[in-house]
Amino acid sequence: MKIAICSDHAGYELKGKIIEKLKAAGATVTDYGTNSADSCDYPDYAHPMADDVESGRSDFGVAICGSGNGISMTANKHQGIRCALCWDVELAHLARQHNDANVLSMPARFISVDKAFAIVDEFFATDFEGGRHVGRVNKIPVKK
């Protein structure tokens, strides 16, 4: 599995731990930054990560910032991205099962490392259910 990952300064430390976990599980991980805990702007990292997933170079993405909101809002500006903000295991499960989320966003300031690991495990272990959800997911991108 190929995973693109990014964070801002608030998510930098958690991102490093998630990268270690994903690599230990055999994933190929592309890190789009940030590369320190110095204050930065999350869109500078979210857009390249989202481009990578949207283009198919990566299968999924992980985006981490303080609240998880800004980085997920940025990723969701991309038509092919379905980024879900998850702070609980059940949300991660439903994001994949019902919404076919392809990017997981997490709020580094509101969850523990253990909780983040459990969320990541559930997100990547859950398949899209399809069925009645397909039509809904297909309506997400803006049609011009």
Residues serving a catalytic function are 65, 98
Rg (CA), the chain: 14
- From CA 79, how far away is CA 61, in angstroms rounded? 14
Ramachandran area for residue 130 (φ above 0: left; ψ -120 to 50: alpha; else beta): left
Q: Which of 84, 86, 27, 32 is nearest to 55 (CA)?
A: 32
Q: b/e per residue, 73-108, with b = 16+ CB within 10 A? A: bbbbebeebbbbbbbebebbbbbbbbbbbbbbbbbb
